[in-house]
């Protein structure tokens, strides 16, 4: 990754290794101070309990964030079977406890299989999903009963790496699963833990969560806030776009037409946002195919 000086100012992506206890907004606020700019946003919220990859955009790169948030994500997590909580994670109070030791591994694997592939998932009640314009978590905190509709998500990989039995603080015999999950945008790993426990008849919740990848950005380029305080390592916008989206290179004449708002005829490319580059590796725009024509989503040069 390059430095802020390399990119000609605070325009670029930063991959943060978010610490536990910070909200995504806390990280954005911290980055505003480190980078000395108000133009900071994030792609894909992480719960305060969670750690790991949080992609931030600075300056012009904030216009990439909404499109990056829709990409595939990877997590490593710990699920505790034997206890349910109001938040589906360790932050909430325990609502039910059922001894969960000596679980049949075949039954666990069958429950995992039900949570894999294209599934219908009900988000956690304390999620940021809006109900009539108000966040679900705000309604729950106000004492309202919340019912959220199931929605389609894709869990393309769900692996159990370790199974261990122990005793929870309240004395309940529990089983902890160390898992890794690769999933589509909008998937709640907390809900996976809850549903896994429900399927096994013992309840379940998330006790640890670490995001290891958002789209093409992973732990390899992630930096802690302390490291970023020392050196503001950024991915220049052009490099960030080339890694995240399919690429379309156009000659100078077409680059000028695109800059003037002309909707160019598009070649056969994958569905979704396309990064358009002109001569000299100039990142021009994000576009999408609308009836064979390039419709601009965001213009950069």
Tokens of 52: 């790991």
Residue 47 catalytic?
yes
Please give the angle made by the CA atoms of 255, 64 and 116, to the nearest 5 degrees.
Answer: 125
CA gap 230, 35 in Å, rounded: 11
- Centre a 10 Å sphere on the Cβ of residue 53 and count the other Cβ atoms it contains: 27
Q: Which of 47, 176, 233, 289 is labelled catalytic?
A: 47
Q: Cα-atom radius of gyration of the chain, to the nearest Å?
A: 22
Active site residues: 47
């Amino acid at each position: 990754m390059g430095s802020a000086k390399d990119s000609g100012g605070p325009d670029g992506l930063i991959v943060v290794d978010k610490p536990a206890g910070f909200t995504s907004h806390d990280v954005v606020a911290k980055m505003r101070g480190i980078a000395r700019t108000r133009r900071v946003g994030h792609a894909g919220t992480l719960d305060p309990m969670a750690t790991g990859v949080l992609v931030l955009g600075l300056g012009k790169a904030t216009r990439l964030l909404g499109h990056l948030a829709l990409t595939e994500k990877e997590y490593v997590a710990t699920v505790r079977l034997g206890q349910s909580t109001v938040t589906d994670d360790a932050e909430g109070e325990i609502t039910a406890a059922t001894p969960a030791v000596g679980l049949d591994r075949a039954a666990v694997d069958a429950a995992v299989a039900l949570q894999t592939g294209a599934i219908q998932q009900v988000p956690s009640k304390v999620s940021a999903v809006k109900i009539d314009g108000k966040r679900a978590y705000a309604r729950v905190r106000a004492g309202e009963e919340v019912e959220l509709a199931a929605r389609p998500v894709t869990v393309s990989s769900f692996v159990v790496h370790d199974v261990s039995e122990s005793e929870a603080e309240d004395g309940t015999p529990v089983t902890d699963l160390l898992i890794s999950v690769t999933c589509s945008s909008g998937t709640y790993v907390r809900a996976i833990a809850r549903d896994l426990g429900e399927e096994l008849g013992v309840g379940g919740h998330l006790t640890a969560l670490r995001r290891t990848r958002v789209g093409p950005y992973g732990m390899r380029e992630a930096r802690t806030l302390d490291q970023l305080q020392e050196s503001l390592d950024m991915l220049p916008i052009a490099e960030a776009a080339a890694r995240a989206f399919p690429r379309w290179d156009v000659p100078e004449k077409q680059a000028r037409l695109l800059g003037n708002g002309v909707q160019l005829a598009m070649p056969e490319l994958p569905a979704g946002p396309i990064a358009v580059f002109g001569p000299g590796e100039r990142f021009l725009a994000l576009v999408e195919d609308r009836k064979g024509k390039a419709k601009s989503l965001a213009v950069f040069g």
